[in-house]
Amino acid sequence: MSAVLEYIERNHAQYLEELKEFLKIPSISTAPEHKSDVVRCAEWVSQSMKSIGLENIQIFPTAGHPVVYGEFLHAGVDNPNVPTVLFYGHYDVQPVDPLHLWTNPPFEPVVRDGKIFARGAVDDKGQVFMQFKSLEAHLKTNGKLPVNVKVLIEGEEEIGSVNLESFLNTHKELLACDTVLISDTSMFGEDLPSLCYALRGLTYMEVTVTGPNRDLHSGVFGGAVENPANALCTIIAKLKDEYGRITVPGFYDDVKNLTPQERDEYARLPFDETAYRKELNIVATDGEFGYSTLERASARPTLDVNGIWSGFTGEGAKTVLPSEASAKVSMRLVPNQDTNDIAKKFEAYIRHIAPPTVTVEVTNLHGGNPAITPIDSKGVKAAMHALEQAYGKTPFLTREGGSIPIVLLFEKILNASVVLMGFGLNTENAHSPDEHFHLNNFYKGIVASALFYDEIASTK
Ligand code: BES
Ligand code: MN
Ligand code: MN
């Protein structure tokens, strides 16, 4: 093993240069104008898989963006009982707006203070690349891997993995595996490794309220005609009560409450509320009555406006009564809520509370179900050991608030257990301007991942 670790140590500089090439490609999955960049990125990923020594590399077109696959399945030749690990990640990234808040352009990666800055640095290109390099280190040093490995990198995670479910169903044989490894979550803190065992789900809705057939003079018509912007605000204000509880009827029906034991574990995590507030420059935290900040941000469901627009938003004042107002509203879900069920309940309630003076349109943009992964699986044990060796510390077991829609489907369709071994930090600005990734965790992540494959080969 030490030869593998030496190989990694020796190649730090080279890794960084290659990662920069990956980060230069603006693979924004939601933007139609970047469609060809997304394709170019899939090609880059397939080339990278080739250069590390994977085989049977294929770019599969889908109804949306391509999926890239590769494998190295020779470990089973000597030992038919050797497990198969499928590594999953995504090469697509989020949009970059507001552009002017970036210190350097988002697709011109730079290193400052031991961090690499670019869109996708931590979510998820940096972490995907880390995994590639851990496989490369084994292959270039020993010409083989400790277990069979399949690699699946998609281009639509940031838009809800809309075409991946049918891809899994059509390619069940190709993707058959025992364990799915994902590096797309966070560590508990700098130099505090953790394994994530639960992610929230998501229901993402858009609401449009329409009033008069055109924008009106707010002096001439104001007071006599319902203002859709006011109506939308009224609707949104009704979605939560004074205890921070969501008022959509039936919303909490399927929520599995935290057990006293789970709450004890939460309370034991070394969380610094003051540092959290300071880092975000907020005067106080906020949320559902009766729950701690960590519980609110990972184990309780939420409802949030992500964007809202209507009427005149330019500089200065224009007296106008807008004819239309819209909002994008997301709900984070926890086990055992179901994204389609929540979408239906949300729509019914919006229609119920909307004033009769306007029409409302409610659309379900995308979503995914929450997931809890077993913590006693071979994969989790192996990852715990690997992290412990790489960081010299026992990792924490955490639940996280973000979503990876495909996780539950890996369990359902492939009947595999999922391991969420992530190396990001929640303060690294994923989805925000100045996204970055600590190089320290990038390099340690390569080591931990290389160790993971050895550990899982020897874990009973
Ligand atoms: N990598 C994140 C998910 C994540 C982040 C999990 C931090 C745990 C900790 C992923 O790329 C992501 O952003 N997912 C979206 C899903 C959505 C677009 C369906 C999310 O959570 O908003
Ligand atoms: Mn991600
Ligand atoms: Mn993301």
- Note whether 306 and 206 are within 8 A (CB): no
Quote the tokens at residue 97: 């707006």
pLDDT tens digit sequence for 269-309: 999 999 999 999 999 999 999 999 999 999 999 999 999 99
pLDDT value at residue 459: 86
Q: How many domains does the chain have?
A: 2
Distance CA 83, CA 149 (A): 9
Q: Looking at the structure, tell me whether residues 18 and 113 fall in a common domain.
A: yes
pLDDT of residue 394 exceeding 70, the answer is yes
**Phi, psi at residue 459, to the nearest 5°?**
-80, 135
Average pLDDT (140-162) is 96
The answer to whether residues 226 and 374 belong to one domain is: no
- C-alpha to C-alpha distances, 246 to 154, 305, 341, 343, 367, nearest whole angstrom: 33, 13, 15, 14, 18
Let me know whether 47 and 128 are in one domain.
yes
Judged against a pLDDT cut of 90, whether residue 80 lies above it is answered with no
Gap between the Cα atoms of 31 and 200, Å rounded: 25
DSSP output for 444-456: HHHHHHHHHHHHH
Q: Does the beta carbon of 70 sit less than 6 angstroms from any atom of ligand 1?
A: no
Together in a domain, 345 and 412: no
- Asked if residue 214 and residue 338 are part of one domain, the reply reads yes
Question: What CATH number is attached to the domain comprising 379?
Answer: 3.40.630.10
Out of 343, 368, 393, a domain closes at 368
Domain boundary among 368, 388, 407: 368
Residue nearest to atom 16 of ligand 1 (CA): 403
430 pLDDT above the threshold of 70:
yes
Tokens of 4: 């593998």
pLDDT at residue 401 tops 80: yes
State pTM to two decimals.
0.94
Average pLDDT, the chain: 97
Whether 20 and 68 share a structural domain: yes
Looking at the fold, whether 306 and 320 belong to one and the same domain comes out as yes
The answer to whether residue 78 scores a pLDDT higher than 90 is no
Predicted local distance difference test score (pLDDT) of residue 79: 80
**Does a structural domain hold residue 276?**
no
Whether residue 350 is contained in a domain is answered as yes
Alpha-carbon gap, residue 162 to 93, rounded angstroms? 15
Residues 9 and 29 in one domain: yes
Instruction: Identify the band that residue 1 occupies on the pLDDT scale cut at 50, 70 and 90.
Output: low
Q: Could you tell me how many residues make up the chain?
A: 460
Domain stop point among 368, 403, 423: 368
> How would you classify the pairing of strands 110-112 and 84-90?
unpaired
Q: Same domain for 167 and 33?
A: yes
| Residue 212: pLDDT over 70 | yes
Residue 90 sits in the same domain as residue 238: no
Q: Residue 119 C-alpha to ligand 2 middle, in angstroms?
A: 11
Give whole-number Cα distances, 235 to 79, 324, 367, in Å.
62, 14, 22
435 CB under 6 A from ligand 1?
no
Nearest ligand to residue 405 Cα = 1
Parent domain of 402: 2-199+370-458
Residue 92 in contact with ligand 1 by CB distance below 6 A: no
Same domain, 143 and 178: yes
Does ligand 1 lie within 6 Å of residue 157's CB atom? yes
The pLDDT assigned to 347 comes to 98
